[in-house]
Amino acid sequence: MTKEIWNESVKNRIMMYLINYRKSKEQLIRRPYFIFEDLAAVFRLADPEEPLKENPVDHEDLNRWEIGKEELYRCAMKSMPAEFPVHVKTAAGNRKRLDQEPVFIVSNCQGIYGAGVILYPGFLQEFSERYGWNLFLMPWSIHEVFVLLDRGQHRPDQLREIMEKNVSGLILEKDRLSDNLYYYDFSEKQILTLY
């Protein structure tokens, strides 16, 4: 249990990350969270000495701080882009696959709990507008999300098949986030689950 009082120092250290809702139901009994499709957004308090250390926020913390989970979310959306900025790279060697289309790997600069960057205010909108296309999102790991531009060359069922074949061999079970394929529509500013 976190023993600190609710002040600016604590507010600036509230971080959020994504976990699989179905696989995490037992731990979610003790923790505040938000549902995001088949995922749960949960919170932790970053340690000043070890910012990536897991220090989960639970219901007892909220009671002691006399705040709601909405306040945690507001603090996380303010502090995370500054403390854990977005990092985008292309997957090495992917030019020979997926119809010559680059596969973007989206995370934070630290590469830990980085899938949550898809919730950063404005990030997906800015990313899709930069390229002018909607996005396929493959949140395989809690640490990163694979992103493809939807230029009409991919069918969702093909991408789903690729995910099914590759996820189990690439991602450790403890780091698995979702087997679902998501879609970001930049004109609607909305994320949808395709599978």
Contacts of 194 (CB under 8 A, 6+ apart): 136, 156, 160, 180, 181, 182, 183
Residues 60, 112 within the same domain: no
49 forms bridges with which residues in the sheet?
Answer: none
Residues 45, 136 within the same domain: no
Give the residue-averaged pLDDT of 157-181: 80
Residues 91, 78 within the same domain: no
Give the residue-averaged pLDDT of 108-112: 92
Instruction: Identify the H or E element spanning 86.
Output: strand 86-90
Spatial CA neighbour of 20 closest among 173, 159, 178: 178
Estimate to the nearest angstrom the gap between the alpha carbon of 68 and the chain centroid: 21
In the predicted model, is pLDDT for residue 96 greater than 50?
no
Query: Position 185: which residue type?
Result: D
Contacts of 44 (CB under 8 A, 6+ apart): 14, 15, 16, 17, 54, 55, 56, 57
Within a domain: 26: yes
Residues 94, 73 within the same domain: no
Rg over CA atoms, the chain? 17
| pLDDT at residue 92, rounded to an integer | 67
pLDDT band at 94 (very low <50, low <70, confident <90, very high): very low
Residues 100, 159 within the same domain: yes
Residues 46, 114 within the same domain: no
Residues 130, 158 within the same domain: yes
Query: What is the span of the domain harbouring residue 52?
Result: 8-82
The 10 Å CB-count burial string (b at 16+, else e) for 115-128 is bbbbbbeeebeebb
Q: Number of structural domains, the chain? A: 2
| pLDDT at residue 39, rounded to an integer | 95
